[in-house]
Amino acid sequence: MSEKPIPNRSLEELFEFARTMELEAARRYTQLSDMMAQHNNSELTDLFKRMADIEWLHVYNVEKARRELDVMEGTPSSYPGFGLNAPEVPDFLSMHYLLRPYHALKLAMQHEERAAIFYTELADSTENDEVRAVALRFAEEEKNHVRELQQWLARYPEPEPGWDDDPDPPNELE
């Protein structure tokens, strides 16, 4: 039920969506970092914090591209919850307090892939040449992010089954 590309978006709408998606992803990774800090998972706290910083950089990059192309600012928050289900924004419900960097990077990669597919589908469906060009540019950037995450992920082997075993689980009843 996530957001689908809407054909015939204007260039202003495309930039507004791209910016909002990166902004929400930055907010979400910050929240995930805070969540893991509360549960003493320091590895994931740091990793999600780094992801948030990267997403903030992407917010900046979208704005820079908008200014380069002299595109007007769109109207923020065109509907309630705009961007909350955007392809790049990870889901709270996928979290577990014992997640490892491998899982977090896989999750981030899946969302970057979703964003690349979103922009590619948008480019395929639009009749506006300018929108198609920018959507393809964004799709390529998302694919670059996937490749960067693949390199990062290579440093972490997949955890053995039982990674979520906790000898003192929070739902233990005594």
Partner 1 sequence: MEMTIQNMQLAQCGSRSAEPYDSDSYLSGVKPIWCPGCGDYSVLTSLTNALAYLQLSPEQVALVSGIGCSSRIPAYTSVYGFHGVHGRALPVATGLKITRPDLTVLVAGGDGDGFSIGGNHFLHACRRNVDLTYIIMDNQVYGMTKGQASPTTAPDWQGSELTPHGTGVNPFQPLVIALASGANFIARCFSGEPANLAEILVQAIQHPGFSVVQILSPCVTFRPEQRQWKNSVRMAESGLDTDIRTAARRLMEDDGMTVGQILYKGKRPAYQPQSASRGDIHKLERGFVL
Where on the chain is the footprint of partner 1 (CB under 8 A)?
1, 3, 26-27, 30-31, 34-39, 52-53, 56-57, 59-60, 63, 73, 75-77, 79-85, 91-97, 99, 170-171, 173
List the structure tokens of 131: 């929108």
Report whether 12 contacts 56 (CB < 8 A).
Answer: no
> Which C-beta is closer to partner 1: that of 36 or that of 47?
36
Nearest to 60 by CA among 93, 19, 94, 32: 19
CB of 174 to partner 1, least distance (A): 9
> Which C-beta is closer to partner 1: that of 53 or that of 140?
53
Nearest to 125 by CA among 9, 26, 11: 9
Residue carrying the six token digits 């908008």: 66
> Which C-beta is closer to partner 1: that of 9 or that of 58?
58
CB of 16 to partner 1, least distance (A): 10
Report whether 101 contacts 156 (CB < 8 A).
Answer: yes
> Which C-beta is closer to partner 1: that of 154 or that of 173?
173
CB of 171 to partner 1, least distance (A): 5
> Which C-beta is closer to partner 1: that of 129 or that of 168?
168
CB of 35 to partner 1, least distance (A): 5
CB of 23 to partner 1, least distance (A): 9
48-86 in b/e form (b: 16+ CB < 10 A) is bbebbebbbebbeebeebbeeeebeebeeeeeeebbeeb
With vertex at residue 118, the alpha carbon angle to CA 54 and CA 33, rounded to the nearest 5 degrees, is 30
